[in-house]
Structure 1
Amino acid sequence: MLTSLPLYARLPLVFEVEAMRAAMQAIPADHWQAHFNSGYYEGDWSGVALIAPADAPSALAPGAGQAAGVATPLYDAFWQGLLGRLDLDLRSARLLRLGPGSRIREHCDPDLGMPGSDMRLHIPIVSPVGVEFLLDNRRIPMQPGECWFLDLSRPHRVENRADEARVHLVLDCRPSRWLYQIIETGLASTPEAAASHGTELFQAFRRLVHDDAQLTAKLADITDAGDFTAAVVALAGVYGLVLAPDDVQSAMRQGRRDWIEQWMA
C-alpha cells in the first residue's frame, strides 16, 4: 500500500464514453443546479447529484463529517451498473459541468487533505480541446473515459476556452486498500503533466522584462500584490501575451515554492 499519496495518478480503469454521454443527456435540463461555491467560478459551473452525503446541506455539497452516501432519484440502473462494479465506498457521485468560456478560479479543498479524509476521482465524459485542468500549475492530461485520482487539497483551477461544456463524473469515496492498490498500479503508466499554458506565457513575459529596462522600471515600484498582478496582465497584453490574473498569481506562487525547495535542499 502507498505510504503517501501522489499529486495525481491515472487509474487502470476505463469507462464507455458514449454510454455515459447518452445517460447524461437523458437528465432533464432543469435538474442541473448552479454550484454552491459561487465565489469560486465565473460563468456556468453546475451539476447534478447521483449520490450525496446524508448530512450534506445540499445535494452538490460535501457532508459535514463521514456520513454515508445516499442515492438520489437520478441514480438509475445505468449509473448503478457503472459504479457498482467498483470496490468503492462512495459518499458522493456528481456530474459537474463547466460551460464554454467559463472558469473555476484557483482554490484548494482542504477537507480532502486531512488524515482519513475522502479521496476524489475524476472521470471525464466530455472534455473538448481548449479545456485546461491545472493542479499545482500543471496541466493534467485527462481524456474522456479515463479515471484519475487528484490531490485537490493542492491548488487547482480549470479554464474552459472551448465552444462546448466540459463534463466530469466526480466521485468522493472513503480510503480503501483496493483504491490505494489501483493508484499504485496506475502510477507506472500515468502520463506526465506539463506546465500550464499560462505559465509558459508568464515565463515569456519574464524574459521580456529581463531584457527591457523600461518594462522592469514600470513594475519595480509596485508593492501591492493586486496592483502588480493587474499591471503584469495589462503589460503582457501589449506584447500579445494573454494572461489571466490566476496565471500570474499561480506562477508567482510556484516560483516561491521552487525557491524554498532550492534553499532547503
Structure 2
Amino acid sequence: MSRPAFSRLPVTVDLPLLLQALAAIENDAWRGHFNTAYFAGDWSGVALISAADALTELSPGTAEPVQRAPWLNDPRWQQALQDLPLEIASARLLRLGPGGQIHEHRDYDLDGPDADLRLHIPLLSPPAVDFWLDGLRMPMSAGECWFLDLARPHRVDNRDSTARIHLVLDCRPGAWLEQMIAEGLPSTPQPDTEDSALQRFQRLLVTDPALSATLQALRDPEAFISQTLALAAERGLSFSREELHAAMRNGRRSWNEQWRV
C-alpha cells in the first residue's frame, strides 16, 4: 500500500486536557534523546508508553508496549485520546528547546508496509518552529493530529524563544487509521514551499560562475564546508553546517541511485 508523505487526520483531540496533563509533568522527568548525534540544543522527552525491551524508555523496541508511570498516574492522557481507536506501540512527549535543531535524518524503522505509523500531535507549537519533511515545511498547529512518513528525510529548527512540545504516537497499521489518513488528505493544508537559505545559495551558485569556481577548487570537505558557510553569510544567507552536510549526502545518494537498475 502506498501512503502519502503526510496527512492531517480529520479527528479531534482534547487539547486543553492534554495541556493540563503536560503541565503536571515534573521538570526532572525529561530525559535527553538517545540519538545524540542527530541534534543540537535541548531535544528531550518523556516516555508514556514504550516497548518492554527498549534500551531506554525513549528508545524503540520490539517487545510488547508497557505503560509508563506518567501515563498510568494521570488518566488525562487516555481521556484526551479516547475517541481515537489506535493500537499504540509507543507514546512520547518530545521537546525541542529554544534554538534547538534536529538535524536531517530518516527513521528507517518506520519504513515498510508493516512498520508503525507515526502521528504527531503538537501541544506547544511556537510560530518560529520549522518542521521540514522531504524539503517541505509542515504547517502543523497545536491540537491537530498529523501522520508523517518520517522514513523520508526530515529536520526541525526551533528559532523561537520557547520550547516546542509534541505528543508523538507510534501506532500499528489498522483499517481505521489508514482510512483517516486517506480522508484527511483533501483538507490537509498545503505545506510551505518557500526556499530555504541553503536552496537560495545553491541557486546563486548556478548564476555566479566565479563563486561556483571558488568552491569547486576546494578538495578538502571541511574547507569546502567552512568556505561555503562564510560565503553564504557574506550574502546574508544563514544555514547550519548540518544542513550543508545533509545536502551533500543527498547529492551523493541521488548520484548513486541514478545507476541502479
Partner in structure 2 of residue 241 of structure 1: 237
Separation in 1 of the partners of 2:246 and 2:56?
31
Question: Would the alpha carbon gap of residues 108 and 261 (structure 1) be closer, same or farther in structure 2, given more than 3 Å must change?
Answer: closer
State the SS of the aligned residue for 2:81. Answer: helix
CA displacement at 1:57 relative to structure 2? 1.6
Matches within 5 A, 1:1-265: 3-63=1-61, 65=62, 67-75=63-71, 76-195=74-193, 199-251=195-247
Structure 1 runs (4+) deviating above 4 angstroms are: 249-264
Output the amino acid matched with 1:147. Answer: C
* Aligned-partner SS, 1:55: coil
SS in 2 for 1:14: coil
SS across alignment from 1:101 = coil
Cα deviation for residue 131 of structure 1 reads 0.4
Percent of paired sites with the same residue: 50
Given the superposition, is the C-alpha separation of residues 9 and 259 from structure 1 closer, same or farther in structure 2, using an over 3 Å criterion? farther
Report the Cα distance in structure 1 between the residues aligned to 2:183 and 2:133, rounded to whole angstroms. Answer: 21
Deviations 1:111-139 (A, max 9, x none): 11034111110000001011001111211
Q: Provide the rounded CA distance (Å) in 1 between the counterparts of 2:134 and 2:252.
A: 13
Deviation at 1:43, TM superposition (A): 0.8
Q: Provide the rounded CA distance (Å) in 2 between the counterparts of 1:186 and 1:246.
A: 33
Letter in 2 for 1:231: Q
Give, in angstroms, the shift of residue 29 of structure 1: 1.0
Tell me which moved more, 248-257 or 140-149.
248-257
Give the CA RMSD over aligned residues: 2.4
Q: Which moved more, 1:222-231 or 1:111-120?
A: 222-231
SS in 2 for 1:4: coil
Aligned to 1:158, what secondary structure does the other structure show? Answer: strand
Distance 1:132 1:152 in 2: 15
1:34 Cα deviation after fit? 0.9
Amino acid at match of 1:31: A
Aligned-partner Cα distance in 2 for 1:83–1:263: 47
- Partners in 1 of 2:13 and 2:82 — Cα distance? 13
Residues 224, 207 of structure 1: alpha-carbon distance in 2 compared, 3 angstrom cutoff = same
Does the Cα contact within 8 Å between 1:137 and 1:251 map onto a contact in 2?
no
Give the Cα separation in 2 of the matches to 1:262 and 1:80: 47
TM-score normalized by structure 2? 0.90
Aligned AA (1:143): S
Amino acid at match of 2:210: Q
